[in-house]
Structure 1
Amino acid sequence: MRGIFNTVRWICMVLTATVFLGQLLIVLMRYLLGFGFLEIQDAVNYAFASLVALSVIVAFDGGNHVRVDVFRQKWDDAVNRRIDWLGDLLLALPVFGIMLWAAFPLVKSSWVILEGSPETGGLPGLFLVKTCLLILPALVILHCLQRLIGAVRQAFK
């Protein structure tokens, strides 16, 4: 599992560079040279959408997701771990399970028609970006299950 999360982290770094350099190129071309390419704008949009979706699991895996730290800092590590487990079990798993279930028809129909850019002359491959709507919840669910299974193993040692 660690290899999957490290790969996603690396992909997010590449996507970040793509968004930054692509947007810089768009601005320079538009304001210095007076023209632009729709394909570059689509590539930046696709990279940004993918980055937003995939960075959720990077934050989740690194423990950088949103918490109410005002309370957490007063409690010991055992209490915080139990709260994290309850959050995984009662919040993350159901929410991301529903997201996976709800996104599947959208992604499936996008793959059936091999959906591309809504702009005339834009890039093909929007269906690949929409696939991130399935990858995101699947990875979060795997991460939560991994943590919960680890907690159960630890409890029975």
Structure 2
Amino acid sequence: MTRIADLLMRATLTLCIALLGLMFATQIIVVFMRYVMGVGFLELQDLVTYSFSAIVVLAIPLAMQRDRHVRVDIFRAGYSARTNRLIDRAGHLVFTLPVFGLMLYNAWPHVARSWAIFEGSRETGGLGGLFLVKTMVLVMCGLIILLAVIEIVRGRNGKEGHDEP
């Protein structure tokens, strides 16, 4: 299960890097076209927005996997690694799983509706494919839940019972 999660997280990181490159290049083209050539291209502007949205959502599980997510660490410094792992596990059971499970449950109908109509940009003449961006919310929730379950079962990085230095 950990290997599958690692593979999924590598794919997520690769996708985020590709989207970042796409967003950067597209934004340069948009700026050049608008301010040098005096032409607007709505599809490219939507592509920048879609890329940014997907990066923001997919960065959440990447941060969690690398233990770079936001939490209050005022008391953690005084505890042992084992105690911190127990606190993390309790946090996953009490907060992570219920919150992201609820997000998954609530987002599912909206994403399904978006797929049913192949939802596109709200702008006339904009880029289609907004349903793909909305799907990233489900992907994010699934990855967070998978990572939380792995950490609850095995401990951080699959090293159960070993304190970090």
How high is the TM-score relative to the length of structure 2?
Answer: 0.88
Higher mean C-alpha displacement, 97-106 vs 113-122: 113-122
The 1-side partners of 2:27 and 2:77 are apart by 39
Asked if residue 116 in structure 1 is aligned to residue 112 in structure 2, the reply is no
Give the match for residue 61 of structure 1: 65
Give the match for residue 52 of structure 2: 48
Letter in 1 for 2:40: G
Letter in 1 for 2:121: S
Give the match for residue 14 of structure 1: 18
Give the match for residue 135 of structure 2: 131
Give the match for residue 29 of structure 1: 33
Structure 1 residues 67-106: aligned runs within 5 Å: 67-106=71-110
- C-alpha displacement of 1:153: 9.4
Residue 146 of structure 2, aligned match among 139, 142, 146? 142
| Count of residues in correspondence between the two structures | 155
Give the match for residue 107 of structure 1: 111
- C-alpha displacement of 1:149: 1.4
Percent identical across equivalent pairs? 43
The 2-side partners of 1:100 and 1:10 are apart by 23
Which runs of no fewer than 5 residues in structure 1 stay unpaired?
Answer: none
The 1-side partners of 2:105 and 2:37 are apart by 46
Higher mean C-alpha displacement, 37-46 vs 69-78: 69-78
Helix, strand or coil: the match of 2:124? coil
The 1-side partners of 2:99 and 2:139 are apart by 14
- C-alpha displacement of 1:26: 1.3
The 1-side partners of 2:74 and 2:28 are apart by 39
Letter in 2 for 1:43: L
The 1-side partners of 2:77 and 2:26 are apart by 41
Helix, strand or coil: the match of 1:107? helix
